[in-house]
């Protein structure tokens, strides 16, 4: 959270020596507050002041990184309780659990590697594989960790409360900064030492919020993920809410991302619980399933909840070719809201239709919203029709508009000189519409 | 170290709506954010309604039709089935009134509504066909025919709220007030309706939600803001929120696409039901109180979840 210039000024030497390039300490403080300077430009600031400023200006939820290179996952830096207050920053990391007692771990990991979905032109996937020391055996755990590390596209979470087993597993995986899961009151010193040794993030689990806060205070280590110990969804909701609220109030022990486990014995309820954790603040949620029917809804929910409320996702407004459109290919008119565009694109593709799609720039809003807001108008459609070069690509003058805006057709026909065909209301109807109405 | 539990001091609460001839079903009444028992009261479970149509639905996917095999053309039998499936309320959708379908008369619709009301012992939610002028005519007759049954009638919009509000007041019903995803539009409609002297606890806000993957985030945030408004004393936002989840979730490609079309998405039945379930439970986290659903398995799963969420988490 930002500090005011005055708050920063109080911590500066107040000598106005100008070594920072500013005329006065106050001027420098103002530059700092607005993010135009950095503290290390003042050579005279004391260590104590530096620490005070660092911690006061640190975000309420620390940024924590798991894994390395292209498997790296960042969590934290959150600043709000409600997405409408600003936005949620780092989407909940989805981890899929494998047990070291599982029969064919490689096959399981391969299934997890496939949990990658293309939605509105963006790739969404799970983020972590959690290896659980279900056997209680160090050698078996280490072997499983090695297998997963060799075959997984994602960074690892190592789950064992046995420090000796963790030590062995880290000999194999420690260099890749896996999440060590983790420390509790009983094994605290040993687990913490391992985390420090490998400079890896560490889950700290308390029996309740009080014990959690005490353990974090004691840790003196900043790469932490919090586990309040709660496992039932009603209690996890309460703890997650408390941790986020306290973090925003700058209660430092809770200023870290959290982890939640969707361990409900009923597999459907486990997904429902995971949905609550995604909506309500979990930094990581650990699932026991790799079934895409379970994971797709959760990944979609995460995408929605973590969308920046201030900017709709838009596609570039330009002429798109689907398949290999010839001169008699149909021309579909839509808006550049990504969800709208990709619905249309998906359905055109599903019908194996080669076509042109023309998404008009509506500032990234949907067909009806765009129409209601005066951003999807006959004028705008005509303008794009004339400027995008479609007239040179096709040998006809017919466009298809969404059924929801049938009312536009008269005016549009008049303005553009093109024939306007009113398509179905839902893009899913496009394939059958084309069969019946195009080229016949 | 002892953590001081952070509690908000809310000054007000959501109004409580009572439904059914015997007033057996209640919605709303919370004095905190959803399921935060450590901070305030959450007196009522969410209300789960299952839809019944008075016209056989043709484009429902097989997995949605299967649980209602043999009753889809018979609203009375369908409604009974819904009760067997554990629905807290039956939501009768008068599709036949639509000019593009049967253009059924208000009298015919009222007769159907009456027959359904007599067949089941749970409260009714009666929804028109979505054509605003026609809905006003239809609901006027339906409201009369069901006088004293304490139903929830909808959907009232800025265009047709007057007739529907009047019917509700005269015949003792509550009203669904629909406005498109906008706090101010919702308030405005509530003000207009209460100015006609309809008590605030006889209005349910319908923010026109979208499904998971199809704009759920807009409604989610509108609902969170409305709940906070209610808790901070804004009487024109202090109504329970109704979410028509079934109609939205079953429109989603992810719910409709069969196994062989999208094998990388897993089995259709599981993903489709999860689509409806997660849309519902996510809105419950944002403050939804009444849910109109389509698949009985959704009702079952949401019930299990909500029962758990109703257990105290006080510190
Ligand atoms: C989310 C939403 C918003 C979001 C916008 C998000 C966005 N990026 O678009 C917000 C909150 C900002 C919003 C605002 C408004 N909204 Co709005 N909004 C919606 C909502 C809930 C969903 C829209 C959506 O994303 N749909 C999903 C996309 C994929 O649908 P789509 O673009 O229509 O595409 C489908 C079809 O049209 C078709 N299709 C698309 N292209 C093509 C092309 C061809 C050739 C064919 C054949 C088919 C086809 O296939 C697609 C998939 O089925 C709808 C209600 C609803 N449930 O539909 C209201 C709705 C669109 N909004 C409405 C209104 C009135 C508004 C506002 C004017 C109201 C206000 N509160 O001020 C504002 C205007 C905003 C502004 N000034 O910019 C009304 C429009 C009424 C009308 N019939 O004109 C609606 C219908 C709600 C209602 N029932 O009253 N809205
Ligand atoms: S270098 Fe430091 S002490 Fe000198 S003027 Fe700048 S802020 Fe002040």
Distance A63 CA to ligand 2 centre (A): 29
Q: Give the model's pLDDT for residue A359.
A: 97
The residue contributing the CA closest to ligand 1 atom 18 is: A369
Q: Give the model's pLDDT for residue A1.
A: 46
Nearest CA in chain A to B2: A210
Tens-place pLDDT, residues A290-300: 999 999 999 99
Choose from B37, B266, B283, B314 for mutation: most chain A CBs within 10 A: B266
Average pLDDT over residues A42-51: 89
Average pLDDT over residues B24-29: 96
Surface of A (49-88) touching B: CB under 8 A = 82-84
- Which residues of A carry a binding-site annotation? 17, 20, 25, 42, 334, 340, 364-367, 427
Which of B214, B215, B221 shows the shortest C-beta gap to A83? B221
Q: Give the model's pLDDT for residue B166.
A: 97
* Alpha carbon of B140: minimum distance to chain A alpha carbons (Å): 28
Q: Which two tokens stand for residue A418?
A: 């093109």
**Domain map of chain B by residue range?**
14-306
C-alpha–C-alpha distance, residues A22 and A13, integer Å: 13
**B1 vs A214: CB contact, 8 Å cut-off?**
yes
Average pLDDT over residues A358-371: 94
Residues carrying CATH 3.20.20.20, chain A: 61-306
Task: Name the fold adopted by A320-438.
Answer: Rossmann fold (3.40.50)
CATH code linked to domain B14-306: 3.20.20.20
Distance A25 CA to ligand 2 centre (A): 5
Contacts 24+ apart (CB under 8 A), B193-201: B193/B156, B193/B161, B193/B165, B194/B236, B196/B162, B196/B165, B196/B166, B196/B169, B197/B169, B198/B165, B198/B168, B198/B169, B200/B15, B200/B235, B200/B236, B200/B238, B200/B239, B201/B15, B201/B16, B201/B17, B201/B18, B201/B28, B201/B239
Nearest CA in chain B to A214: B1
Identity of the highest mean pLDDT range in A38-42, A309-313, A406-410:
A406-410
Tens-place pLDDT, residues B90-138: 999 999 999 889 999 999 999 999 999 999 999 999 999 999 999 999 9
- Which residues of A carry a binding-site annotation for [4Fe-4S] cluster? 17, 20, 25, 42
Surface of A (221-260) touching B: CB under 8 A = 232-235, 237-238, 241-242, 245-246, 249, 251, 253-254
In this predicted complex, what is the ipTM? 0.91
- How much is the CA Rg of chain A, to the nearest whole Å? 27
B135: Cβ contacts below 8 Å, ≥ 6 apart: B97, B128, B129, B155, B160, B164
SS3 at position A274? helix
Tens-place pLDDT, residues A21-31: 999 999 999 98
Closest to A162 measured CA to CA, from A236, A210, A100: A100
Compute CA distances B61 → B31, B65, B67, B258, whole Å: 40, 6, 11, 9
* The residue to which tokens 């989610």 are assigned: B220
pLDDT tops 60 at residue A42: yes
* Alpha carbon of A9: minimum distance to chain B alpha carbons (Å): 31
Q: Give the model's pLDDT for residue A314.
A: 86
C-alpha–C-alpha distance, residues B279 and B288, integer Å: 11
Pocket test for ligand 1, best of A333, A369, A434, A438 (most atoms within 8 A of CB): A369
Q: Give yes or no for A365 touching B (CB within 8 A).
A: no
pLDDT tops 70 at residue A2: no
Average pLDDT over residues B6-17: 97
Residues B128/B87, Cβ–Cβ less than 8 Å: no
In degrees and rounded to multiples of 5, residue B180 shows phi and psi of: -75, 95
C-alpha–C-alpha distance, residues A321 and A243, integer Å: 49
Residues B183/B224, Cβ–Cβ less than 8 Å: no
* Residues β-bridged to residue B91: B51, B125
pLDDT tops 60 at residue A14: yes
Residues A330/A353, Cβ–Cβ less than 8 Å: yes
C-alpha–C-alpha distance, residues A141 and A112, integer Å: 19
Q: Give yes or no for A291 touching B (CB within 8 A).
A: yes
Surface of B (152-181) touching A: CB under 8 A = 180
Atom of ligand 2 nearest to the CA of A19: 1
| B270 contacts on A by Cβ (under 8 Å) | 291, 293-294
Q: Give yes or no for B270 touching A (CB within 8 A).
A: yes
Q: Which two tokens stand for residue B246?
A: 């079934």
Q: Nearest bound ligand to CA B215?
A: 1
Residues A122/A153, Cβ–Cβ less than 8 Å: no
Pocket of ligand 1 (CB under 6 A): A 312, 332-335, 337, 339-340, 343-344, 364-369, 371-373, 400-404, 423-424, 426-427, 430; B 180-182, 185, 208, 210, 214-215, 218
Whether A213 lines ligand 2, by a CB cut-off of 6 Å, is: no
Q: Which two tokens stand for residue A294?
A: 């379970």
Q: Give yes or no for A185 touching B (CB within 8 A).
A: no
Q: From 3.40.50.300, 3.20.20.20, 3.40.50.2300, 3.90.226.10, which CATH number describes the A61-306 domain?
A: 3.20.20.20
Q: Which CATH architecture has domain A5-57?
A: Orthogonal Bundle (1.10)
Residues A247/A255, Cβ–Cβ less than 8 Å: yes
Closest to B266 measured CA to CA, from A271, A429, A306: A271
| Percent of chain B's residues with pLDDT above 70 | 100
Residues B31/A241, Cβ–Cβ less than 8 Å: no
C-alpha–C-alpha distance, residues A44 and A13, integer Å: 7
| A246 contacts on B by Cβ (under 8 Å) | 3, 6
- Name the residue with higher pLDDT: B5 or A1: B5
A23 CB burial (10 A radius; 0-12, 13-18, 19+): exposed
Tens-place pLDDT, residues B235-282: 999 999 999 999 999 988 899 889 998 899 999 999 999 999 999 999
Tens-place pLDDT, residues A308-356: 998 878 888 999 999 999 999 999 999 999 889 988 988 898 788 999 9
Residues A74/A80, Cβ–Cβ less than 8 Å: no
C-alpha–C-alpha distance, residues A164 and A145, integer Å: 14
| B309 contacts on A by Cβ (under 8 Å) | 233-234, 237
Tens-place pLDDT, residues A231-254: 999 999 999 999 999 999 989 999
């Amino acid at each position: 959270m930002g500090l005011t210039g005055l708050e920063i000024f109080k911590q500066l030497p107040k000598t106005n020596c100008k070594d920072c390039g500013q005329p006065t300490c106050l001027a420098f403080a103002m530059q700092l507050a607005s993010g135009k300077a950095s503290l290390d430009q003042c050579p005279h600031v004391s260590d104590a002041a530096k620490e005070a400023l660092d911690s006061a200006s640190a975000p309420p939820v620390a940024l924590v990184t798991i894994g390395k290179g292209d498997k790296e996952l960042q969590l934290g830096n959150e600043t709000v309780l409600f997405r409408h207050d600003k936005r949620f920053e780092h989407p909940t990391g989805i981890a899929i659990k494998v047990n070291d007692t599982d029969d064919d771990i490689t096959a399981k990991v391969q299934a997890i590697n496939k949990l990658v979905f293309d939605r509105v032109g963006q790739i969404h996937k799970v983020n972590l594989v959690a290896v659980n020391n279900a056997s209680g055996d160090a050698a078996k755990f280490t072997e499983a960790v090695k297998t997963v590390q060799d075959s997984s596209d994602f960074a690892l979470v190592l789950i064992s409360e046995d420090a000796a087993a963790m030590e062995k597993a880290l000999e194999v995986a420690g260099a890749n900064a896996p999440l060590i899961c983790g420390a509790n009151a009983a094994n605290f010193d040993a687990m913490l030492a391992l985390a420090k040794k490998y400079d890896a993030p560490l889950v700290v689990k308390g029996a309740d919020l009080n014990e959690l806060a005490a353990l974090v205070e004691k840790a003196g280590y900043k790469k932490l993920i919090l586990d309040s110990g709660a496992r039932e969804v009603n209690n996890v909701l309460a703890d997650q809410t408390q941790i986020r609220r306290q973090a925003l109030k700058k209660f430092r022990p809770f200023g870290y991302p959290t982890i939640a486990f969707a361990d409900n014995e009923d597999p459907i309820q486990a997904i429902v619980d995971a949905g609550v954790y995604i909506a309500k603040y979990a930094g990581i949620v650990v699932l026991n399933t790799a079934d895409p029917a379970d994971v797709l809804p959760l990944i979609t929910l995460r995408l929605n909840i973590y969308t920046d409320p201030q900017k709709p996702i838009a596609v570039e407004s330009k002429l798109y070719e689907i398949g290999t459109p010839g001169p008699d290919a149909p021309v579909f008119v839509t808006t550049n809201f990504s969800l709208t565009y990709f619905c249309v694109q998906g359905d055109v593709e599903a019908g194996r239709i080669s076509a042109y799609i023309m998404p008009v720039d509506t500032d990234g809003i949907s067909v009806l919203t765009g129409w209601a807001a005066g951003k999807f108008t006959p004028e705008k459609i005509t303008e794009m029709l004339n400027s995008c070069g479609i007239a040179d690509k096709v040998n006809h003058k017919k466009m298809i508009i969404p059924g929801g805006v049938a009312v536009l057709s008269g005016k549009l026909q008049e303005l553009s000189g093109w024939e306007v065909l009113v398509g179905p209301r839902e893009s899913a109807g496009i394939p059958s519409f084309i069969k019946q109405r195009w080229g016949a | 170290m002892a953590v001081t539990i952070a509690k908000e001091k809310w000054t007000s609460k959501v109004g409580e709506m009572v439904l059914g001839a015997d007033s057996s079903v209640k919605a709303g009444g919370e004095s905190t954010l959803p399921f935060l028992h450590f901070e305030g009261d959450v007196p009522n479970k969410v209300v789960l309604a299952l839809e019944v149509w008075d016209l056989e639905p043709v484009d429902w996917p097989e997995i949605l039709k299967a649980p209602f095999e043999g009753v889809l053309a018979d609203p009375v039998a369908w409604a009974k089935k819904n009760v067997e499936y554990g629905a807290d309320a039956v939501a009768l959708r008068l599709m036949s009134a639509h000019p593009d379908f049967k253009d059924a008369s208000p009298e015919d619709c009222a007769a159907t509504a009456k027959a359904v009301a007599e067949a089941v012992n749970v409260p009714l939610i009666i929804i028109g066909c979505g054509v605003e002028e026609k809905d006003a005519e239809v609901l006027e007759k339906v409201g009369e025919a069901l006088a004293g049954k304490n139903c929830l009638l909808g959907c009232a919009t800025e265009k047709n709220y007057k007739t529907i509000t009047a019917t509700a007041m005269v015949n003792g019903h509550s009203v669904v007030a629909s406005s498109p995803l906008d706090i101010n539009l919702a308030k405005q409609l509530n003000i207009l309706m209460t100015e006609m002297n309809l008590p605030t606890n006889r209005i349910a806000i319908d923010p026109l939600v979208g499904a998971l993957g199809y704009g759920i985030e807009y409604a989610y945030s509108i609902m969170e803001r409305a709940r906070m408004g209610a808790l901070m004393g804004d009487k024109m936002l202090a109504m329970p929120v109704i979410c028509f989840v079934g109609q939205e979730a079953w429109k989603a490609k992810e719910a409709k696409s069969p196994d062989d079309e999208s094998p990388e998405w897993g089995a259709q039945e599981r993903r489709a039901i999860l689509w409806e379930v997660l849309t519902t439970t996510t809105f419950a986290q944002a403050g939804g109180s009444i849910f109109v659903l389509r698949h009985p398995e959704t009702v079952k799963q949401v019930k299990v979840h909500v029962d758990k969420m109703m257990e105290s988490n006080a510190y």
